[in-house]
């Protein structure tokens, strides 16, 4: 049994080493779970969108409910202008959700517990939102940093704070997801270790905790996917509607 | 399927145990596979995004819209039927009301006619009765008027016959009638 709770996050190569020039793009366990998540999402939603009955069956209902859930979320936070970005946010939410949920299977690997993965997603969102903002409003997008109704002598300070908070968005977005997933999985591993080390006499208490933590982590897995998607919507709302 | 899952589980557990001997610290901060992860993230997420946005999501959207329009259509049809039925109910009420009014009218007409007939017959019977009463009264009056005369005549005849029988004398009728008239007058005066 792996004693160190951090070993579950190790990335290792599956199959041969693949290199393009000097760059190593080998297929790893992380890649495997990305592929599994993607295939699972496509499988579920393909099945759910194939049948077109007026009264949906379970899988159709599932996909349609997900569709309306995310559609409503985007509409509520970013308004009607965000409709073209629906596919992206839907994919993002489903990808994060499925990666988180697959991570809950014992001995599996949690893709989203790696800062590099969440950071790439967050940075892509950050850059994309910034580009959309400048495309929609030109240099007027910079007004985002100047809140209305602030006394003039406070403006220099506020602008600096606003810029820092804007630039820290990708960091906070990526670290939130990564830290949540890592902390949860580490904690489960630690409690799992307690069960083994305390044995049949004292292991029941940490076992109970493990069960409870599993439930909590499933909740967190969903919640973090939701938070990730809704923050994306909020950033998109800033870029599209620009009222501060 | 079960075999594959068991195989994968075994593979991962063996790998984890093997790696557990190697390093400490956070594997997330080891940049060895960063580029590989980014590459595979872009590939898988890209495929996911493209397939979802091109093929799957439009299907779901169409399906939802189709259902929505179908439901709206059904609601519209139901509304129309409701309006129709309300119209029919009004029509029905109107017909019932008309019928009631007509019935009342017929009833009152019949009543009037019967009343009229009754009064007519009554009047007729009354007039017939009156005329009969008149005739009878006239007859009675006539009788009343002619009675003293007749009685007088009978009395004259009777008196003259009695006289004839009693004394065998033919009496002058005019004398007898004068006496009888005188006696009748006396009776009438009494």
Confidence of residue A6 (pLDDT cuts 50, 70, 90): confident
> Is residue B9 in a domain?
no
> Is residue B184 in a domain?
yes
Which pLDDT belongs to residue A227? 96
> Is residue B175 in a domain?
yes
The tokens describing A73, both together, are 């979320």
Region of A189 on the Ramachandran plot (φ > 0 left; ψ -120 to 50 alpha; else beta): alpha
* Enclosing domain of residue B182: 147-189
| Set of chain B residues whose Cβ sits within 8 Å of the Cβ of A52 | 59, 62-63, 66
> Is residue B124 in a domain?
no
Q: How far from each other are the two terminal CA atoms of chain B, in whole angstroms?
A: 152
Measured in angstroms, the CA of A243 and the nearest CA of chain B are apart by: 29
pTM for this model (two decimals): 0.73
Nearest-angstrom CA–CA distance, B170 and B164: 6
Confidence of residue A1 (pLDDT cuts 50, 70, 90): very low
Q: What is the pLDDT of residues A110-160, one digit of tens each?
A: 999 999 999 999 999 999 999 999 999 999 898 888 888 888 898 899 999
Phi, psi of A13 (to 5 degrees): -75, 140
Task: Please tell me if residue A4 touches chain B, with a CB cutoff of 8 Å.
Answer: yes
> Is residue B104 in a domain?
no
Vertex A214 angle, CA A68 and A32, to 5°: 70
Region of A91 on the Ramachandran plot (φ > 0 left; ψ -120 to 50 alpha; else beta): alpha
> Is residue B169 in a domain?
yes
Closest Cβ opposite residue A7 in set B16, B42, B49: B16
> Is residue B11 in a domain?
no
Measured in angstroms, the CA of B2 and the nearest CA of chain A are apart by: 15
Q: What is the pLDDT of residues A163-178, one digit of tens each?
A: 999 999 999 999 999 9
Give the ipTM of the model, two decimals please.
0.91
Q: Stretch B43-65: mean pLDDT, rounded?
A: 94
Phi, psi of A20 (to 5 degrees): -110, 110
If one counts the domains in chain B, the total is: 1
CB distance A146 to A159 below 8 Å: yes
Q: What is the pLDDT of residues B69-93, one digit of tens each?
A: 999 999 999 999 999 999 999 999 9
Rg (CA), chain B: 67
> Is residue B7 in a domain?
no
Instruction: Compute CA distances B49 → A41, A91, B127, whole Å.
Output: 11, 6, 113
- What b/e string do you get for B153-169 counting C-beta neighbours within 10 Å, with b at 16 or more? eebbeebbeeeeeeeee
| Set of chain B residues whose Cβ sits within 8 Å of the Cβ of A182 | 26, 28
């Amino acid at each position: 049994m792996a004693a160190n709770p951090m070993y579950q996050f190790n990335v290792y190569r599956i199959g041969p080493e693949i290199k393009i020039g000097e760059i190593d793009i080998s297929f790893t366990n992380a890649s495997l779970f990305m592929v599994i998540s993607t295939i699972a999402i496509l499988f579920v939603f393909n099945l759910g969108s194939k049948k077109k009955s007026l009264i949906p069956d379970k899988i159709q209902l599932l996909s349609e409910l997900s569709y309306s859930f995310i559609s409503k979320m985007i509409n509520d936070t970013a308004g009607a202008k965000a409709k073209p970005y629906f596919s992206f946010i839907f994919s993002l939410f489903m990808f994060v959700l499925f990666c988180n949920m697959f991570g809950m299977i014992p001995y599996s690997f949690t893709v989203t517990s790696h800062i590099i993965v969440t950071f790439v997603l967050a940075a892509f969102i950050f850059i994309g939102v910034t580009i959309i903002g400048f495309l929609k409003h030109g240099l007027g997008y910079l007004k985002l940093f100047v809140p209305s109704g602030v006394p003039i002598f406070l403006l220099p300070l506020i602008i600096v704070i606003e810029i820092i908070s804007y630039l820290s968005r990708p960091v906070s977005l990526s670290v939130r997801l990564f830290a949540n997933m890592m902390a949860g999985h580490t904690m489960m591993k630690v409690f799992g270790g307690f069960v083994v080390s305390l044995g049949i006499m004292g292991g029941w208490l940490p076992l109970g905790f493990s069960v409870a933590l599993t439930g909590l982590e499933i909740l967190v897995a969903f919640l973090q996917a939701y938070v990730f998607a809704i923050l994306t919507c909020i950033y998109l709302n800033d870029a599209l509607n620009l009222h501060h | 399927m079960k075999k594959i899952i068991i195989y994968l589980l075994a593979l991962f557990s063996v790998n984890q145990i093997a790696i557990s001997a190697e390093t400490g610290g956070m594997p997330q901060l080891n940049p060895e596979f960063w580029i590989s992860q980014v590459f595979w993230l872009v590939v898988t997420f890209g495929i996911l995004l493209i397939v979802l946005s091109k093929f799957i999501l439009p299907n779901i959207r169409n399906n939802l819209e189709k259902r929505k329009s179908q439901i709206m259509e059904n609601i519209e049809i139901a509304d129309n039927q409701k309006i129709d039925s309300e119209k029919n109910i009004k029509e029905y009420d109107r017909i019932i009301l008309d019928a009631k009014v007509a019935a009342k009218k017929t009833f009152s007409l019949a009543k009037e006619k019967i009343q009229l007939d009754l009064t007519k017959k009554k009047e007729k019977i009354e007039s017939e009765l009156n005329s009969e009463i008149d005739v009878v009264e006239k007859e009675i009056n006539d009788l009343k008027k002619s009675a003293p005369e007749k009685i007088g005549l009978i009395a004259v005849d009777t008196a003259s016959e009695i006289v004839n029988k009693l004394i065998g004398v033919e009496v002058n009728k005019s004398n007898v009638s004068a006496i009888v008239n005188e006696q009748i007058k006396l009776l009438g005066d009494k």
